[in-house]
Structure 1
Amino acid sequence: MSQDNVSKIKERLGIKEVVETYIKLEKAGSNFKGRCPFHNEKTPSFFVSPDRDSYYCFGCGAKGDIFTFVQEYEGIDFLNSLKLLADRAGIKLDKINHKQNSQENLLKEILEEATIFFEDAFKKNSEVMIYLKKRGLNEDTIKEWRIGFAPNGWSNLSDHLKKKGYKESDIEKAGLIKKGPKESYYDRFRSRIIFPIHNSNGDIIAFTGRIFGAEEDTAKYLNSPETELFKKSEILFAFDKAKGSIRKNDFAILVEGQMDTIMCHQAGYKNAIASSGTAITETQLRNINRLSKNLVIAYDSDSAGFAASEKAWKVALSIGMDVKISPIEEGLDPADLIQKDPKKWKETIKKSEHIIDVFIRKISNSETDKRKIIQRVIKDIVPHLKYISSSMDRDHFVKKVAEAFDISIEAINEEVASYEDDNGESLNLNNLSKSSLVEREKFDELALEKRIFGVMYALEKKDEEEFKMMQEGIINIVGQEGYDKILESINEELEEIIFAVENSFDEKNIKIESKELLKNLKIKKLNNDRKKILLELKKAEQQKDEELENNLLLEINKISKKIQEIN
């Protein structure tokens, strides 16, 4: 996508103007602040800088520009954020890849026409309405979700679409027809209740069909194949409807099927979503995680449901999500439970437990022998502790397991550290802690540099002359190569550092601080030079080189005088 489009939009729409359409902002010095839309908080820690066209949250670390904000808030990709913001700015986007764009629109048009066809067929089949009402759906819900019916027959839909002027090759690309052994096409969906699948913008991109009225031995559910529009590993059923509620309630309910999802929404749980015909993927979970890190898995209570939920929670834990399991009554799925007893469903969601707590409870209720308890902890809990990405969160649950079963924390950590995953790779906690220590040392070493660069860039838009003077001052002290190295080291954190500086100083005090920091940087550089010369002096003493010793002592004295003068 052309960079010109990005620039044009940014010229028309400021960061404050865009963010204000989603959250309330108030003045905070040269910036604006509000409650972060990406995590729950009472005290505002989300800051917006009109000068730099960027935002940063001190609570969760969210940061970026207008495009990343809209992507995160709306749960859409860059291309769709570009289209949305271009529309708001009244800008016609430069035509990029006309062929692909027109092809996508054509497929969406065909799918919309197919949806209307399925809806009309549904109205003509009273048995389908009776069935869905028996399952608990009301007429308003059926209309809202545009549930339809594919009548039995090999070419009902394809004949209809061809009469509307669409080519067979395009209908096939939309995933609606298949080519048979004799090179003739036939309808993919026949004698099935049809559930449309939408992308995050609400466009229909695929269908799921549930068998109804057919006697043939065939799959209960049938999904559209992968198409240009429909990527099964990326799309979540009802994500377009649920994303606002997920953000508002700060958790998502993951269920297995379309009926479960729709019944949840009808019962007021509009934060429910389902995967689209596949096991839940990391991409799908990351889409949820952008809105909330809290996930409740409410899969069927049978063994297949438990196996599917296990795959889901392992991936969710590994990307830093907080995962709870909903204790659904044996033999029921969410749709059945909601229809049977909506209050019981509400209680079930409230009683959801973290996956580690589930295993602690199960082991406590079923085992009394200490050795068997330890075996179960190693078998059931240790593998899941491994998947918890946050070391602090993992430590919390390690301690909880240790207290529950009277096992030492050290023993559990050893088991987690040596546990091998499915690929034979082990998680070495000792190595992790050493790595964290090194990173901390680097952080401490760069503390002054972070402050000085933060102040310098905070001045960039406010006082260009002061910014340039400070930049030259830093280069004079550490050299161009040193300047570039520091900037590279702190580049990813720079936005956070600048916001921290702006929240700490007003315009007058920031200039005073800049001079103080330059002085401190100069002293640090001189101290580092003196340390190097002291090491050389030690070598000269060992080699008994008196002339070199005297020269080095003179250098040390000069540096000491410079430091005194600066102070």
Structure 2
Amino acid sequence: MISKTTIDKVYETARLEEVIGDFVQLKKSGSNFKGLSPFSDERSPSFMVSPVKQIWKDFSSGKGGNVVAFLMEHEHFTYPEAIKYLAKKYNIEVEETEQSNEQKEQADERESMYLVSGYAQKYFSEVLWERELGKAIGLSYFKERGFTDETIKKFELGYCLDQWDSFSKTALNKGYRLEYLEKTGLSIVKSDTNDPTNSRTFDRFKGRVMFPIHSMSGRVLGFGGRILSSDKKAAKYLNSPESDIYHKSKVLYGIYYAKQAIAKEDNCYLVEGYTDVIQLYQRGIHNVVASSGTALTPDQIRLINRLTKNITVLFDGDAAGLRASLRGIDLILEQGMNVKICTFPQGEDPDSFAKNNSLETVREYLTENSKDFIQFKASLLVKEAANDPIKRADTVRDIMNSISKIPDKIQKEVYIQECAKIMNISEAVLFNTLAQLGKKGAAESTKNVQAQQEAFQVVKNEPAQQKVDVQYELERKIIEVLLLYGGMRQEFEDLVLKENESGDLVLEPESLDARVYEKIFLDLQDDEIELANEQFRKIYYKLIEELNKDENFSVNKFLADLDQQLVAEISSILMEEEKYVLHDWGRKDIFPKEKEKGIAQLVSETILTLRCFLIKKRISSLQTNTQDSFDSHNEVLEEIMNYIQLNMLLNKKLNRVIS
């Protein structure tokens, strides 16, 4: 268990905008930051971060919370893991008690797989640096590739001994379960067909140098292993199989090391292999990631899109099937990103070029030889078409198909003008071709929609009007006011019900100097009002307790002691109005009134409105439950009339006209 002291220190030290900035590109928006949602596929920002409140809200998915909640949602950390991650980031020493065997057994399956993968990385690194065979074979290989000791340690490279079950045996002896060794793909279990109870365990990566594959937060998800023997039957590179923690199509090699540089440089270099990434990083080009030999996927592109809108794809000088590789470019364009392409000289690849040239030369080459995708694709395909008019026409269609993927209309037009110049063809023809592609796409979409409509044919009814839950909204507002202004002292105009000389009930104003939370608590207590919503009720009592106990109440500190379900609810409440900032009303000369300028009025109106609502609810209940007895009937009618009179008085104070 992590000590309370450590947890408090983490919350006090961690800056939400810094932590989220490691995963999402954030831009200043007034006192807040905004960015693209890391939880959904979108092209306009709906993700808000409040440095003042130290909470975030994703309006596209509805998720929200504090810094720990973000790590738990985004990286699937457990609460202790999130605290440890932040402690490591901010150099805070973690005080914790040893876990019992029972607690270890309670760790869920995903967590067990992460633990096994983390142990495997440490084991392979230890073999590389401390075993004679590791140093002689694995370390020698990396040194031959030109990697320094610092680089090898940074990327946590390792070596798996060329023995059938050396790793598996060691892991089992350390207490790691075979079930998780098998599920992560580190070990292969083969059963005897004649005797199913008899099985043998083998190391998947036997005799290979190891490249750990990290998540954006640095957790080991899986491995890539390169064989060093000349066995032609074995694959040169072998990856971990798909598992609950490793999905090849959703991971980019090197993203953990590159994320900050990508955001800072506002550009990402995309290469093919592990060594390309490592060599470029060692040379000084840090904003580089690899698709690890797989075809580029939309999920991988979205990972980059959170950090930058610009991708430069680096191809080998003699890359076979370069045209096939260009298909990934269309996927990038569909995401609304800007693409450049750079090829290296004949016989060179990013690894060799970075190894044999200085940082200045590499940077200069990348700058001068990175071409816009349309220029590159057109020049490549024009060479293939040569003087063949049919191939030339196909080339134009191919390029126009790529342009059609771009969501931005202005960008499309600019590319068409560029294409017309390169291909020596009229813009009118290209626009016509684009229109035809658009019609074809629209026809296919319409066909799909019609098919869905036929499959889910329903009888048309009048659309049901969704009723607003007035009590829920008012209780939510009370929580919001307590969180934002609970400790502030205000001058309130309190209303006291008195009988005048004529015997009529009237509300007389009385001045009251009190803290906001005191005013709310006393008013609700006087009317014996208890919040109906269970979540709000829990939050309300915790808030009143904390505000009464601590004059220097802090939302961030308050959230640190709550369970994550309540944290998410509070974040949603506090960030609700921040979504309007996304629309940038100031540019339209619309300036909403600041709440801080009318806190006392806001509190009074919210409580009065809740009173009115509950009075109407009580009147309705009395009308429904009137007894048949005449005497009882008269008593109920008298009570109803008193409530109606009180309701009218309260609404008069609220300047409302009621029937």
Provide TM-score, normalisation by structure 1.
0.63
Q: Does 2:237 align with 1:227?
A: no
User: Which residue does the alignment assign to 1:412?
Assistant: 430
Alignment partner of 1:130: what SS?
A: helix
Cα separation, partners in 2 of 1:102 and 1:426, compared to 1, 3 Å = closer
| Partner residue of 2:174 out of 149, 164, 172 | 164
Distance 2:222 2:442 in 1: 40
Distance 2:422 2:166 in 1: 62
Q: CA deviation at 1:382?
A: 1.5
The farther-off stretch of 289-298 and 337-346 is 337-346
User: Which residue does the alignment assign to 1:394?
Assistant: 412
Q: Does 2:151 align with 1:154?
A: no
User: Which residue does the alignment assign to 1:145?
Assistant: 155
User: Which residue does the alignment assign to 1:309?
Assistant: 325
Q: Does 2:372 align with 1:354?
A: yes
Q: Does 2:135 align with 1:117?
A: no
| Partner residue of 1:77 out of 74, 77, 87 | 74
Give the residue type in structure 2 aligned to 1:389. P
Q: CA deviation at 1:54?
A: 6.4
Distance 1:267 1:135 in 2: 13
Distance 2:424 2:309 in 1: 31
8 Å contact from structure 2 (residues 55, 66) kept in 1: no
8 Å contact from structure 2 (residues 252, 291) kept in 1: yes
Instruction: Structure 2: give runs of 5+ residues left out of the alignment.
Output: 1-6, 38-47, 88-93, 97-102, 193-198, 447-479, 486-491, 493-576, 598-659
Deviations 1:3-43 (A, max 9, x none): xxxxxx9xx989x96337788x9999xx52679899xxxxx
Question: Whose radius of gyration is greater, 1 or 2?
Answer: 2
8 Å contact from structure 2 (residues 382, 395) kept in 1: no
Q: CA deviation at 1:120?
A: 2.6
Give the residue type in structure 1 aligned to 2:146. G
Q: Does 2:586 align with 1:500?
A: yes
- The within-5 A match list for 1:246-285 is 246-285=262-301
8 Å contact from structure 2 (residues 186, 205) kept in 1: yes
In the alignment of these two chains, the number of paired residues is 428
Q: CA deviation at 1:427?
A: 5.5
User: Which residue does the alignment assign to 1:201?
Assistant: 217
User: Which residue does the alignment assign to 2:16?
Assistant: 18
Q: CA deviation at 1:345?
A: 3.2
Q: CA deviation at 1:163?
A: 1.5
User: Which residue does the alignment assign to 1:336?
Assistant: 352
Cα separation, partners in 2 of 1:83 and 1:296, compared to 1, 3 Å = farther
Distance 1:508 1:119 in 2: 57
8 Å contact from structure 2 (residues 283, 355) kept in 1: no
Give the residue type in structure 2 aligned to 1:32. S
Q: CA deviation at 1:344?
A: 4.7
Cα separation, partners in 2 of 1:54 and 1:63, compared to 1, 3 Å = farther
Distance 1:113 1:65 in 2: 32
Q: CA deviation at 1:304?
A: 3.8
8 Å contact from structure 1 (residues 54, 63) kept in 2: no
- The within-5 A match list for 1:282-297 is 282-297=298-313
Give the residue type in structure 1 aligned to 2:586. A
Q: Does 2:108 align with 1:102?
A: yes
Q: CA deviation at 1:235?
A: 1.3
Distance 1:407 1:18 in 2: 53
Distance 2:19 2:189 in 1: 48
User: Which residue does the alignment assign to 1:213?
Assistant: 229
Provide TM-score, normalisation by structure 2.
0.55
8 Å contact from structure 2 (residues 72, 79) kept in 1: no
Cα separation, partners in 2 of 1:402 and 1:494, compared to 1, 3 Å = same
8 Å contact from structure 1 (residues 75, 287) kept in 2: no
Q: Which has the higher contact order (CA 8 A, sep 6+)?
A: 2
Q: CA deviation at 1:329?
A: 1.7
Deviations 1:186-222 (A, max 9, x none): 1101110111111111111211100013536210000
Aligned-residue sequence identity (percent) comes to 26
Q: CA deviation at 1:498?
A: 6.7
Q: CA deviation at 1:405?
A: 3.5
Distance 2:595 2:276 in 1: 58
Distance 1:347 1:62 in 2: 41
Distance 2:231 2:354 in 1: 29
- The within-5 A match list for 1:360-439 is 360-362=378-380, 371=389, 374-375=392-393, 377-419=395-437, 426=441
Alignment partner of 2:247: what SS?
A: coil
